[in-house]
Structure 1
Amino acid sequence: MTELHLWLRHEVRTTERRTPIVPDDARRLIEAGVALTVEESPQRIFPVEEYEAVGCRVAPAGSWVSAPRDAVVLGLKELPDAPAELTHRHVFFGHAYKQQPGAVELLRRFAAGGGALLDLEYLVDDEGRRLAAFGFWAGYLGAALAVLQHRGRLVAPLRPTDKDELDDTLRAGAGDAGGEDFTALVIGALGRSGRGARVAFHAAGIEPTCWDLAETRDLDRRALLDHDVLVNCVLATTPVPPFVRDQDLDDLARRLRTLSDVTCDVGSPLNVLPVYDRTTEWTDPVRRLRKEPPLDLIAIDNLPSLLPRESSVDFSAALLLQLLDFTTGGPWGRCLDRFHQACRELGIEQREFRND
């Protein structure tokens, strides 16, 4: 196999402070013979000097567009709108296979340039289990923000922090208004995100109700609406009846006051919470969906970036193992097959990828 050249790009989203590869793991890749170029990035939690110190090449932000054709461009969130033709293999969360807004346009850019999307969401083992994920930290933060909002302690704009500080904040608010008789429900409680949500609730002194597949097969909607706070950690892969509907928001007997959607599958026909049409942001993290009775929504699609160091270290450790075995088969081959399948389903003609 020819030498693998990874190109760690700068994230264009200003609130994205995570990285898929931390400096310690970059060192291990280089020791294994991988070439690693790291773009300068003012917001990345790890400064570029730490990568340079372990042997990485440094390049200007956004220079991946002119990287060698065989370089694999590594990132997390969305690409910039240009160039119109994507010529490289890109590893990131593309959100392009479930009819999300902008999905067709993204896939057409890859097809036009002969590149390929290796979507991290579809980097799975033989049983379909994700091999690298931010789920635990997404769930933890989704629940933590819901607790703070329900107790009137959420401060905007949000800022990055660390887990010890956030745990202290959750514990300190346990006696605040709203803490008494505070009931919470986690749906998808047995998955990575659900486990993270439960940890945050426990830090806040709250024992949540935990639902998973058994409880959602025959959904007790009345029981759902009788909780003060709902944290959704379910990412549906096949159509299921929605957990909360518009008519539920208008239910005058509804106890539910705070809805935190960790999944943020907005725009997809598989969305289990089709009651909002856009995510919320760090600058304005809460949106009121109903005035009477009040219902607040938190739906931030890069929650783990609020704990950028912890979440990056965990994710990088998992991804490192896959990058050390970057081949045309196995998990990476499945990623490529899923990309080709998505293009075929949309009738998008693809150019053959070439390194020259």
Structure 2
Amino acid sequence: MATSTGIWLRRETAPNEQRTPLVPGDAAELVAGGVRVTVEESAHRAFPAVEYEMAGCRVVPGDTWPDALPNDVVLGLKEPSFASSALSHRHVFFGHAYKGQGGGPGLLRRFTAGEGTLLDLEYLTDDTGHRVVAFGYWAGYVGAALAVLQHRGQLIAPLTELTRPELDGRLRGSADGARALVVGALGRSGQGAREALAVAGVPATAWDIAETRDLDREALLDHDILINAVFATEPGTPFLTAADVARPGRRLTVVSDVTCDVTSACNRLPIYQQVTDWAEPVRRLHDVPPLDLISIDNLPSLLPRESSVAFSHSLLPQLTALMSRRAAVWNRCEEHFHHALRMMTSNK
């Protein structure tokens, strides 16, 4: 893997995205270690540019990342804007391109055109295959919180950014007797979901691999709220089907799909085709009995400061390793990228 000369932090262009993978305090540590950090201006980032300037970073206009030096690592969260269709640098972000997602081939073709490399944050793993950085905890927390508020009839659209004390204050309302099921309960997202349910005073049933190997569909449908927090890497038994949605005696009324693998072959909830968003966070899938769906693909953005601080803290040692060639985890990322390119070429 080539030596890097610096890190270029892009602004995010996706709607309602105030998160950042690198907060000013951690950027200051990189600068102190001799890393050149360039930060694009952003009107939406939860941390203003002046905080990065005080940390010793160079601040530049937004969407100027194509001007980064050839060996710079361009860092972000979502796919870069189309200011340059071809991607010629090493880019670090969540690509969502390796599991059959709809936009995957187009993104990979951008890298092919520019001879760049994607180091996908979703595939930044240790020697045992476990992810070393993720927003999962806060995704699960927010996903479960929204499900509880929807079940209580208290979810108000459009959604806006919050702090954790504000969200917890809304959760600590009167108990309504709801029972929740968290699938993928032992992972980061599952842990966050269970914590939010505990704050809300909602009893939670915890399922993980053992409980879903032979799915008890009747038990699943006998809960009021379902939180899907499973990180699936291969196809498997759906947790809900069209027949379950239409079942007359179903108790289940709210589904929060934290995973949002809707366009992937690994999707465990093939009961809908499009995610929801901040403007319309809930979609009614069935009227009698009612079944509401929450499937927002940037849940941690509702708590942008908390989720960014936690993520950046986990990413900092990995960025340090990337800058100093101690990059085994990044080598694995690069291997996944080249494998995806080969698979795309072979499937033509």
Amino acid corresponding to residue 279 of structure 1 in structure 2: V
Secondary structure at 1:55's aligned position in 2?
A: coil
1:116-265 correspondence to structure 2 within 5 Å: 116-171=117-172, 173-175=173-175, 179=176, 181-265=177-261
Match of 2:319 in 1: 323
Amino acid corresponding to residue 144 of structure 2 in structure 1: A
Distance (Å, rounded) in 1 between the aligned partners of 2:83 and 2:4: 28
Q: CA offset at residue 81 of structure 1?
A: 3.4
Q: Gaps (5+ residues) in structure 1?
A: 350-356
Residues 111 and 348, structure 1, Cα contact 8 Å, conserved in 2:
no
Amino acid corresponding to residue 342 of structure 2 in structure 1: R
Residues 3 and 34, structure 1, Cα contact 8 Å, conserved in 2:
no
Q: CA offset at residue 346 of structure 1?
A: 1.0
Match of 1:271 in 2: 267
Secondary structure at 1:341's aligned position in 2?
A: helix
Q: CA offset at residue 328 of structure 1?
A: 7.3
Q: CA offset at residue 174 of structure 1?
A: 2.1
Distance (Å, rounded) in 1 between the aligned partners of 2:327 and 2:308: 26
Amino acid corresponding to residue 158 of structure 2 in structure 1: P
Question: Does structure 1 residue 29 correspond to structure 2 residue 19?
Answer: no
* Equivalent of 2:338 in 336, 340, 349: 340
Distance (Å, rounded) in 1 between the aligned partners of 2:53 and 2:346: 40
Identity %: 58
Distance (Å, rounded) in 1 between the aligned partners of 2:305 and 2:85: 33
Q: CA offset at residue 8 of structure 1?
A: 0.3
Q: CA offset at residue 126 of structure 1?
A: 0.4
Residues 144 and 201, structure 1, Cα contact 8 Å, conserved in 2:
yes
Aligned length: 344
Residues 3 and 35, structure 1, Cα contact 8 Å, conserved in 2:
no
Match of 2:281 in 1: 285
Match of 2:69 in 1: 68
Q: What CA RMSD, in Å, does the superposition of the two structures yield over aligned residues?
A: 1.4
Query: How high is the TM-score relative to the length of structure 1?
Result: 0.94
Amino acid corresponding to residue 119 of structure 1 in structure 2: D
- Structure 1 stretch 277-286 or stretch 73-82: which is displaced more? 73-82
Q: CA offset at residue 182 of structure 1?
A: 0.9
Q: CA offset at residue 162 of structure 1?
A: 0.9
Distance (Å, rounded) in 1 between the aligned partners of 2:298 and 2:78: 8
Change (3 A) 1:2 1:188: closer
Residues 261 and 299, structure 1, Cα contact 8 Å, conserved in 2:
yes
Match of 1:352 in 2: none
Change (3 A) 1:348 1:86: farther
Question: Does structure 1 residue 306 correspond to structure 2 residue 295?
Answer: no
Residues 4 and 72, structure 2, Cα contact 8 Å, conserved in 1:
no
Match of 1:353 in 2: none
Secondary structure at 1:144's aligned position in 2?
A: helix
Distance (Å, rounded) in 2 between the aligned partners of 1:137 and 1:2: 33
Amino acid corresponding to residue 214 of structure 1 in structure 2: A
Q: CA offset at residue 267 of structure 1?
A: 0.7
Distance (Å, rounded) in 2 between the aligned partners of 1:348 and 1:47: 45
Distance (Å, rounded) in 2 between the aligned partners of 1:135 and 1:257: 24
Q: CA offset at residue 348 of structure 1?
A: 7.5
Amino acid corresponding to residue 154 of structure 2 in structure 1: R
Residues 285 and 299, structure 1, Cα contact 8 Å, conserved in 2:
yes
Query: How high is the TM-score relative to the length of structure 2?
Result: 0.96
- Structure 1 stretch 327-336 or stretch 272-281: which is displaced more? 327-336
Distance (Å, rounded) in 2 between the aligned partners of 1:2 and 1:168: 47
Distance (Å, rounded) in 1 between the aligned partners of 2:184 and 2:253: 19
Distance (Å, rounded) in 1 between the aligned partners of 2:79 and 2:149: 28
Change (3 A) 1:348 1:37: farther
Amino acid corresponding to residue 346 of structure 1 in structure 2: M
Match of 2:81 in 1: 80
Secondary structure at 1:186's aligned position in 2?
A: strand
Residues 283 and 292, structure 2, Cα contact 8 Å, conserved in 1:
yes
Secondary structure at 1:165's aligned position in 2?
A: helix
